[in-house]
Structure 1
């Protein structure tokens, strides 16, 4: 048998934890020294490993006690119940990740965080998942299976969404300079490149998206992050200027 300090050294479990296990009757020492120090044998060490393993799976000490005492315990049902619990917790963590990402993207776009606004967006997204899918399928007759995954999501931290957020934030920053400003036209060029990447050159799908994007009502139905109408109008005007300028340059080279 070994002392409680040696158990701590071998397993990493603290003396305080071992004493707590003893107090609640979960792990009783095999004996004590003449000086009153707890001693543990091979069977106690094995049980301690089982306790720590079940703890790592998320079981409470009370549940672990029941599972280890009852030889006829229904392990399958217990594990199945724990798996369902973990899946629910995972979904909560995923939602928290999306909320935090949304707040960070909101700050990048607006220079401030409107928690109430993000809460509204999240609530809308949760309550209208099926309506959103149905709406997108109605609007995008071609490639509708992929469109839900392709569209930028304010609560997503993927590189494409982050770039869209950055481009939109830059547009807002330079709007006062006018549609013909070099900074604005550079941003428009990249937006059009992103459009080509997103829709793989499918003009019909691209045009359908921008028709939705330009409408506040349709954007809301599609679950897109709301953009102020003046920003949308500016984007459209700056894009028209860019395309006309490109056409003149091409014509001049002929």
Structure 2
């Protein structure tokens, strides 16, 4: 027989928890010392292992009690039901994770403006996903739809998406600067380098996407993260200055 304190030491389960198991009839000690301390048999220890295993895969204590006390318990049905529950829960948590990542990235794009990021993401969440997909399929060719999948994503955790998000945030922070300033031009240069890395020889697609981006209605129909018109105009002016300087340097 094993003293309750020794059981607690071996299993890392607190004495308080073991007493609780006894009180609810989940695991009753086989015997007690003269002083009233619980003593556990080898069978009790095996049952305790089963309890901890089932608890570890998400079962409630009452469910475990029912499972271990009912000789006719259908383990197969119960385990399959538990698996379905956790698959659904996993999907729910994945959705929450994506939303948190999107909010973090939205705040970065908005230069730290949490309220604006939340407002825009609420706006995005209200858009009809089926209509967005249909509009996209009607707007782009099959090849362009494949290119679309390479675009940075607000919910993305890949380095490419995160850098694009950071670059947009930098543009917003420097909106009061001259678009010809070295700081702004360096941001535009890096944007164009990334564009070239991912979409080399795809100028037609990029031009088409930019024209859509400049139209709030078209952007909304495609489910693009809302960017203010003044930011897009600023980026376009900075881009024109950058291209003009490149042309001058090559002539």
TM-score by length of 2: 0.90
Distance 1:220 1:155 in 2: 17
Aligned residue number for residue 117 of structure 1: 119
Aligned to 1:72: 72
Q: How has the CA–CA distance of structure 1 residues 145 and 83 changed in structure 2, closer, same or farther, with 3 Å as cutoff?
A: farther
Deviation of 1:167 (Å)? 0.7
- 185-194 or 146-155, which moves further after superposition? 146-155
Measured at CA, do residues 48 and 102 of structure 1 come closer, stay the same or move farther in structure 2, by a change above 3 Å?
same
- How many residues in Structure 1 have an aligned counterpart in Structure 2? 249
Deviation at 1:5, TM superposition (A): 0.7
- Contact 2:103–2:121 under 8 Å retained in 1: no
User: Within 5 A, what are the aligned runs for 1:1-254?
Assistant: 1-110=1-110, 111-114=112-115, 116-117=118-119, 120-121=122-123, 123-124=125-126, 128-144=128-144, 146-147=146-147, 149-250=149-250, 252=251
Report deviation, 1:194.
1.7
Extract unaligned runs of 5+ from structure 2: none
Instruction: Give, in whole Å, the separation in 2 of the partners of 1:75 and 1:209.
Output: 55
Secondary structure, in 3 states, of the residue corresponding to 1:84? helix
Whole-Å separation in 2 of the counterparts to 1:71 and 1:148: 57
Q: Are residues 225 and 59 of structure 1, via their aligned partners in 2, closer, same or farther at CA, if it must alter by over 3 Å? A: same
Residue 207 to residue 107, structure 1, CA distance change in 2 (3 Å):
same
Farther-moved stretch of structure 1 (29-38 vs 207-216): 207-216
**Larger displacement relative to structure 2 (175-184 or 2-11):** 175-184
**Distance change in 2, residues 1:46/1:89 (3 Å):** same
Q: CA deviation at 1:198?
A: 3.2
Per mean C-alpha deviation after superposition, the further-off stretch among 167-176 and 194-203 is 194-203
Structure 1 unmatched runs, 5+:
none
Does the residue aligned with 2:29 lie in a helix, a strand or coil? coil
Q: Check whether the contact 1:109–1:166 (CA below 8 A) recurs between aligned residues.
A: yes
Q: TM-score, normalising length from structure 1?
A: 0.89
Distance 1:175 1:118, change over 3 A: closer
Helix, strand or coil at the partner of 2:81: helix
Structure-1 separation of matches of 2:63 and 2:124: 35
Q: Flag as ranges the 4+ runs of structure 1 deviating above 4 A.
A: none
8 A Cα contact 1:142 1:205, kept in partner: no
Q: Equivalents in 1 of 2:9, 2:94: separation in Å?
A: 37
